Every structure is written in structure tokens, then in C-alpha cells.
Amino acid sequence: MELGPIWRALMRNKASYVLIALQIAVTMAIMVNAVGIIQERSQQMARPSGVDEENIFYLSSNIFDPDADFEAQIEADLDAIRSFPGVHNAVMSNTVPLQGGGWSEGITLEPDPDLDSTGVAIYFSDEHGIDTFGVNLIAGRNFSANEVNWHDYESDAWPPIAIVTRAMAEELFPDLSVDQTLGKTVYIHDTKPVTIIGITERMQAAWNSWSGVERSMLVPVKRGGAYARYVIRAEPGYRDEIMPQIEEMLASMTDNRIIRGMETMQQTRQESYLLDSSMVKLLLFIVTVLTAITGLGIAGLASFSVARRTKQIGTRRALGATRPAILRHFMLENFVITSVGVAGGAILAVAINMWMVNAFGLQRMAWYLVPVAMAALWLVGQVAVYGPARRATMVSPALATRSV
């Protein structure tokens, strides 16, 4: 191989090669860390919410006449919505997954408020909740109509039964199977007993960045008054058509309220992850532009060095070097520079990642990103240097015989 002469040639003009190697190193550090963040965010965004996202939408009814009969109005609204053509089912609840606002409680295994509790997101629901959200009941049973009661605002009572997610069941009883967890009694709101009658496969909480996002609980309580939120699941394909119709119907049922906050579950997901998805796009953009700049920098430097060494190339050609040999010289030279760069880049990337994990609580990046980025930069370098190297091969051997 010709590594010896290449290395000695490089040493004759160290500074600009050191700089390009440095540039490659910093580029790689940014690339690896940015892709690490992109991976982390993408994984978060890919988590399913557990509900029928395509067909669910929701809205709020806000009755502003303080003397209205809220409960009667809500019952009438729900009856009207459920019998509306194109509606699969509907329920009054406090929130939907990923919505951002919700209610949480601590659950303990004993009726003792001093014990450490497990946080859980509460969904108020009735017997239609499971079907409306489209969650999958993997054990136990649904609420029956006679178990659902209106919330009494003057008391702090809680219903004696609940349906929890599998993640919640496993958090409370890590050693028991799902079926063994059924029928267990836990305590909510300090001391109120609750028996688990059903377990759902998955239903996320309203807060996507909460560590307990997979822990939620449906309770058989109708909790609404002047303000009520209806969650509606349309028959597949009917959602967009019936949204304005339902809004219009509800608005026309009584003139002492406004309907607001109508939104689809898909919009909610988008809004919930807007910061993450935008961060992903921003970082992708940065990595792309950065790689392009570094590639152009390599190409620019190579073309300078080809121009500067025209005479030497001519001499080599005159002494019998073939065109492929010249091409190989520049390609190999770039490979050497890039190798030095990516070696430094690997160290820098890991150092920066360790610092970011400390400073910002980010996840550690996957180890394989380092070799992948190395390979990518080797490739970028080779592609960038190919043009100038080709030009070098065009230098005529006769050039060596001319003087300045």
C-alpha cells in the first residue's frame, strides 16, 4: 500500500488537514447525539395510546345558566349522541389520553395515607366507557349500568370498584398474574377501598412525558355539571362528517350553553407530541445541512490540494504512475484524514452524550450509532473527494517538464 508516502505528504501540510479532521470530528459528535435524540423522541411518539385514535373525537359542553338542571341535560345529550347515525358510542369523561390535562390519584395497598402511593390517571366513565374508548379488556368485566353513580360534589366518596390498565396492575402487584390481580382491593384517596374488577391491555394517561403514562384507571362515576366533556367514537369513516352535525345538534338542544374544544384524538396526539416531532424535524435538518457543509468542505480542500500539487501529480504520472494510482492516492489520503476525524469524533460524541445525560436528563444513546456515523462519514468523505481526485487523474504527464 501507499500509506507511507500519503502520510508523509499529509505531514508536509498539516494545518489544513488537522482542521478538516477536526471538522469531521465535531460533525460526527453532533450527528451521533442528534440522531440519538431523534431516536429517543421517535420511540416515545410511536407508543400507542390504547384507544381507537382514528375514530374518536371529543367536545365540551359549558352551560352558563347557573340554575339549569345539569344532570338532566347531560343525560339528554348522551342519549341524543348515542342514537345519532354514524356514532358508535359515547361517554362523559374528564379527559382523553395525551390531552395534557387530567386527574391523578395515589393508590396504596393498605388504608394508610403515610404509605408510598402509586400515581394513577383517573378516567371518569360509565358502562359505555370501554366501548367508546375502544380499549381492550383482557381480564375481568366491564361496569354494569347499576354500578355507575353521579358524583356527589358535597362528599369525598369514591366508588368501590375500578378497571385498571395492565401496567397499573403490574406496578401494584408485580408478582401476581393479571387474573390473580382481579378482585384485589387497593386504597384510593388515602383510605377509600377499591376492588379491581377488570384489567385493560392499555390506556395511556393524559400526560405523555409522565413516567407513569401507562398507568390509568376507569372509575364508574358520572362527573359533570355546568361543564361536561363528551368523548364520542364514530363508526369507521364517519368521524369528519358527523363532527359538525353533532356540534350543531348539541348547540340547538338548549340556548344556555356553548360547545367548545371540539377536537379529534388524532389532533390531540399531534399537539401532544408537537414539541417532540418539531425537535425531530429540526435535528434532521441540522444533521443534513451539517453533513452537506462538511462534504463540501472536504471537496473544497481536496480541489485546492489537487491544484497545488498539479506539478507533483504530473511528475508521478511521468514516472509511470497510472491514473487509478493517482485516484487511489487522493481517495486514500481522504480516508486517512477521515479516519483521524471519526476517531476523535467518537470520543467527542460519547463525551458530549455523557454530559447531556447529566445536564438534561436525556437517555444514553445507543452504542451502535458511533460505528454507523463513522461509516456514514467515511462514505461522505469518499464521495466528496471523488470529483477533485478525478480531476487529478486528468493531469498530463508532460506538465512535469514545464517550469513555472
Partner 1 sequence: MFRYYLKLGLFSIRKNPVLSSLMVAAIAVGIGAFMTIINIDYVMSGNPIPHRSDVLYHVQVDSWSPNDAYEDPDLPPEQVTYLDGVALWSAGEARRQVLSYKTTRVVQPQAQGERPFSVQSRSTTADFFAMFDTPFLFGGGWDKAADDGEEYVVVINKEINERVFGGDNPVGESLVMNGKGYRVTGVMDTWEPMPKFYDINNGPFEAVEEVFFPFSVSIANELSSSGNTSCWKAAEGGWDGRLASECIWLQLWVELHGESERQDYLAFLDAYAESQKALGRFPRPLNNRLNNVMEWMDDREVVAKDVNVLLGIAFMFLIVCLLNTIGLLLAKVARRAGDISLRRALGASRRAVFSQYIVEAGIIGLCGGLLGVGMTWLGLQGIKGLYGDLDFIARLVTMDWPIIFAAIVLAIGAALAAALYPTWRACGVHPASQLKAL
**Residues in touch with partner 1 (CB under 8 A):** 13, 15-16, 19-20, 22-23, 26-27, 29-30, 33-34, 37, 62, 64-67, 113-114, 116, 152-157, 189-190, 258, 260, 270-271, 274-275, 278-279, 281-283, 285-286, 289-290, 293-294, 296-297, 300-301, 303-305, 307-308, 311, 352, 356, 359-362, 403-404
Q: Which is nearer to partner 1, 184 or 311 (CB)?
A: 311
| 389 grid coordinates | 481526485
Tell me the β-bridge partners of 186. Answer: 194
Q: Which is nearer to partner 1, 138 or 249 (CB)?
A: 249
What is d(CA 90, CA 73) in angstroms, rounded to the nearest whole number? 15
In which region does residue 376 sit, left (phi positive, over 0), alpha (psi from -120 to 50) or beta (all else)?
Answer: alpha
Shortest Cβ 39–partner 1 spacing (Å): 14
Shortest Cβ 131–partner 1 spacing (Å): 30
Q: Which is nearer to partner 1, 254 or 382 (CB)?
A: 254
Q: Which is nearer to partner 1, 133 or 187 (CB)?
A: 187
For residues 384-402, one letter each, b for 16 or more C-beta atoms within 10 angstroms of the residue's C-beta and e for the rest, the string is: bbbebbebbbebeeeebee
What's the Cα-to-Cα distance from 10 to each of 47, 152, 311, rounded to whole Å? 50, 82, 16
Tell me the β-bridge partners of 164. Answer: 199, 217
DSSP H or E stretch at residue 189: none
Q: Which is nearer to partner 1, 57 or 133 (CB)?
A: 57
What is d(CA 97, CA 100) in angstroms, rounded to the nearest whole number? 8
Shortest Cβ 194–partner 1 spacing (Å): 13
What is d(CA 142, CA 91) in angstroms, rounded to the nearest whole number? 14
Q: Which is nearer to partner 1, 274 or 379 (CB)?
A: 274
Q: Which residues contact 73 (CB under 8 A, 6 or more apart)?
A: 61, 63, 253, 254, 257
Shortest Cβ 354–partner 1 spacing (Å): 13
Q: Which is nearer to partner 1, 29 or 87 (CB)?
A: 29
Shortest Cβ 111–partner 1 spacing (Å): 12
What's the Cα-to-Cα distance from 123 to each of 99, 185, 318, 327, rounded to whole Å? 12, 18, 83, 68
Task: Return the amino acid letter for 63.
Answer: I
Shortest Cβ 28–partner 1 spacing (Å): 10
Shortest Cβ 199–partner 1 spacing (Å): 25
Tell me the β-bridge partners of 258. Answer: 62
Q: Which is nearer to partner 1, 296 or 394 (CB)?
A: 296
Q: Which residues contact 360 (CB under 8 A, 6 or more apart)?
A: none
167 neighbors 200 (Cβ within 8 angstroms): no
Shortest Cβ 66–partner 1 spacing (Å): 5
Shortest Cβ 180–partner 1 spacing (Å): 29
Shortest Cβ 324–partner 1 spacing (Å): 25
What is d(CA 284, CA 280) in angstroms, rounded to the nearest whole number? 6
What's the Cα-to-Cα distance from 341 to each of 27, 246, 254, 284, 292, rounded to whole Å? 9, 62, 71, 22, 16
Q: Which is nearer to partner 1, 156 or 175 (CB)?
A: 156
CB atoms within 10 A of CB 101: 10
Q: Which is nearer to partner 1, 282 or 325 (CB)?
A: 282
Q: Which residues contact 146 (CB under 8 A, 6 or more apart)?
A: none
